[in-house]
Amino acid sequence: MEQYTLPANNRPAIHLTAGECDALSELALSAEHRDPHSSAMLLAELYRAELCEPGELPEQTVAMNSRIDFIDEGTGARRTVQLVYPRDADIAAGRVSILTPIGAGLIGMTAGSSIRWPDRDGHDRLLRIVSVTPPGEG
């Protein structure tokens, strides 16, 4: 499997529930043959996540099915996306798969934090989370 790492100073703390981390690990491992790069990126993020009990995640933490409002600091572009499983992805509807570079970069982040993260073309982007709407709200 392809290894993927980013310098530690570009990686803010991320938080996940153990159940979600397990489910995403299984998904990433099942996808490593068809999409080794995205799988490796996601696994690297899951490996460093701080695990929390359900209900103990910090406020405005990106979880699956959250809506995330973020800014690409390099371009000033502001986007709102929903982070979803691959089967529910629809970029035209703003539903981004966890098995994309942006999806792997957003999981577990909290509002106000930033991460330097590569896009699909391998160009680094500085993404700043503006707000997170939990699943089922908004």
> What are the tokens at 7?
């310098």
pLDDT number for residue 11: 74
Q: Name the one residue in this structure whose structure tokens are 């098995």.
A: 99
> What are the tokens at 122?
């391998």
Instruction: List alpha helices for the chain, DSSP H.
Output: 18-31, 36-48, 101-106
pLDDT number for residue 137: 76
Average pLDDT, the chain: 88
Per-residue model confidence as pLDDT tens for the chain (138 residues): 444 444 445 578 899 999 999 999 999 999 999 989 889 999 999 999 999 998 899 999 999 999 999 998 889 999 999 999 999 999 999 999 999 988 998 999 999 999 887 777 777 888 999 999 988 776
> What are the tokens at 64?
């699956």
Amino acid occupying residue 113: S
Buried b (16+ CB within 10 A) or exposed e, 44-79: bbbeebebbeeeebeebbbbbebbbebbbeeeeeee
**Which helix (H) or strand (E) segment is 74 a member of?**
none
pTM of the model: 0.87
Amino acid occupying residue 59: E
pLDDT number for residue 1: 40
pLDDT number for residue 4: 41
Q: What is the pLDDT of residues 29-41, one digit of tens each?
A: 999 999 898 899 9
Residues 84, 103: Cα–Cα separation, whole Å: 8
pLDDT number for residue 3: 41
